[in-house]
Amino acid sequence: MQSPAVADQDFFVRFCAEWRQRVDQALAQRTAYGPDCPDRLREAIRHSLLAPAKRLRPLLVLLACQACGGDPQRALPAACAVEMVHTYSLIHDDLPAMDDDDLRRGRPSCHAQFGEATAILAGDALLAQAFEVLATEIAPPELAAACCGELAQAAGACNLVGGQQDDLAAQFATPDLAALERIHRRKTGAMLCVSVRLGGRIGGATPSQLAGLTSYGQHIGLAFQIVDDLLDLEGQVEAMGKRVGKDAQKGKLTFPAVMGVEASRRRASELVAAAEAVLEGAGLDSAGLVQLARFIVKRST
């Protein structure tokens, strides 16, 4: 007989394999577009959105829905919506005016392939479409409105965009852990956190389950960023599908720069342990979310 730990891992591996494929298919269907979408714009959107990616945010939506006893299929539109917002943010982040990166998801970044103007428009289109998908495909309408409101807040001036603004301003700044955490709670954490919250809402989470999912999302959000900083320092460009070593080059404020590599690793592991502990007390079927949190610290891409 399988031990519970192996069974949980098996469940997670099968869930990810099956749902990554369904997410990829759903994203491809939703970006086929009619003749009013210019071919070049369609190509640019699909070049970035359908490139090989981990699909972490969609998986968080689907696993959170399942953890609350909901059918992940009902949450698939929300999984697509968060991936659309995430991909828009990557396209815009890669622009010369921002992080200026020519490689993303193992492909030339959107502007490197299609030019800056088309890349800006591809990001704009994805951001708008995310809300169209939620508004038209999530039911009932009150739930759709709540999901739109939450995603807008996570993507807006006080979260994703605000965090990005402060991150851009923080180059060569004096190392300060509180300031660094404040940037990444908004720039990276908010999108991971809203992913579990949307899944929870669609899965019918109780208020205490939603509170547990929120705290889980906040913990893994920070852990994810710490690991991202470590991978920028130590990862391989081939595995990552993006340039590495850029943080140091650009004088970015990062966790390894502020705390050191070993302390950063320890902090990421502590955050994942805290995320697991939160789930234990929240009355959720949380095996998948626990495995995903562990994957976040173990990942090499």
Interface positions with ligand GRG (CB under 6 A): 53-54, 56, 86, 89-90, 92-93, 98, 105, 160-161, 164, 187-188, 225, 228
Q: Which is nearer to ligand GRG, 77 or 163 (CB)?
A: 163
* Separation of alpha carbons 238 and 247, rounded Å: 17
Q: Cβ of residue 181: shortest distance to ligand GRG, in angstroms?
A: 13
For residue 282, the SS3 value is coil
- Cβ–Cβ < 8 Å for 76, 23: yes
Q: Which is nearer to ligand GRG, 187 or 294 (CB)?
A: 187
Tokens describing residue 227: 């690991």
Q: Cβ of residue 136: shortest distance to ligand GRG, in angstroms?
A: 24
Q: Cβ of residue 163: shortest distance to ligand GRG, in angstroms?
A: 7
For residue 1, the SS3 value is coil
Burial level of 229, CB count in 10 A (0-12/13-18/19+)?
buried
Q: Cβ of residue 224: shortest distance to ligand GRG, in angstroms?
A: 7
Q: Which is nearer to ligand GRG, 98 or 143 (CB)?
A: 98
Q: Which is nearer to ligand GRG, 93 or 276 (CB)?
A: 93
Q: What is the DSSP string of 122-188?
A: HHHHHHHHHHHHHHHHSSSHHHHHHHHHHHHHHHSTTTHHHHHHHHHHTTTPPP-HHHHHHHHIIII
* Separation of alpha carbons 40 and 287, rounded Å: 42
Q: Which is nearer to ligand GRG, 14 or 250 (CB)?
A: 250
Q: Cβ of residue 100: shortest distance to ligand GRG, in angstroms?
A: 12
